[in-house]
Homo-oligomer: A and B are copies of this chain.
């Protein structure tokens, strides 16, 4: 049953098929398929014979054929949000790594795609309809999560990294990091160091994540009987904004410490300190959020809230597996606790 005599040559240019293996092992195609997918259905000696043939020929199942028949691609789609240069957001990078790593162990690969513009739904449609991916991992939840409703309506399996902020009874699996717990951790850390005037620099009010992180600061500060009045500022997530905001706060509220909603903003604070000849960690304490590369390499080290992205990835993949095994699966929603990486700035 050689095709064009190709089996005669030993060049592994042509991939052997399941039929080739079957012929070589002297069994049927189905038996080979079982040897690969349900080994325990075969008698041990048959299994051994088939496996030997597989090894001899270097057989690897053809993905396209398998995908066609099983209606699954074993790919999960992840949309890369537009890059924002000038910010310190390395969180996405770390998450992608973790996700790729974890998916691999679960037998999945990660397919990256990007939207044309700011429309968060861009790109999902085609992949979904063409059955290119089995599921999505959704991450852009800075301002709520419009994708969730959209995907749900189309019965597309997905797991969100980020809570369904704007929809209390959303019924889809999600994993998130407790931002408030993170900033609370950070604020407590500063309180323990003796600071009593701790300022907050966060994001615009319509960011759910931003308000959540702010809540942690508020909670910790109030718990210690301190006031938050005049101690907070809400700005865009840029270094420049962080610099401006911290300058104003320093002049008007005289804080001795800053808790920021991001490392980017914290870097802005460091700028202000440098300009004024103040030393971070000695004169003024600063804490960021994300534990980005920037926090790790800047002098004298930026204390920062670190999200457990590896755990998030693991939880996401686990939910993905459940979801694909049981289409009706509705996750519980998992909230993970971040940690605080203390460095020179506090």
Contact = CB atoms under 8 A, between A and B. Distances in A.
Interface of A: 12-13, 15, 58, 60-65, 67-68, 71, 73, 75, 80, 83, 85-90, 92-94, 96-97, 100-101, 104, 109-114, 123, 126-127, 129-132, 154-155, 239, 264, 267, 270-271, 274-275, 292-294, 296-300
26 contacts: A13-B155, A61-B130, A63-B130, A67-B67, A80-B96, A85-B296, A87-B297, A88-B297, A90-B90, A90-B293, A100-B113, A100-B114, A104-B113, A104-B114, A104-B123, A109-B113, A109-B132, A111-B111, A111-B112, A112-B112, A239-B297, A267-B297, A274-B300, A293-B294, A294-B294, A298-B298
A270 B294 CA distance: 13
A112 B96 contact: yes
A297 B62 contact: no
Nearest to A127: B109
A155 to B, nearest CB: 6
Contact of A93 (B86, B93, B111): B93
Classify the secondary structure of A's interface with B.
mixed
Nearest to A98: B83
Minimum-distance CB pairs A-B, first 3? A60-B129, A64-B67, A64-B68
A148 B109 CA distance: 23
B297 A75 contact: no
Contacts of A67: 63-64, 67-68
A174 to B, nearest CB: 22
B114 A264 contact: no
B75 A68 contact: no
Nearest to A11: B155
Contacts of A85: 293, 296
A83 B97 contact: yes
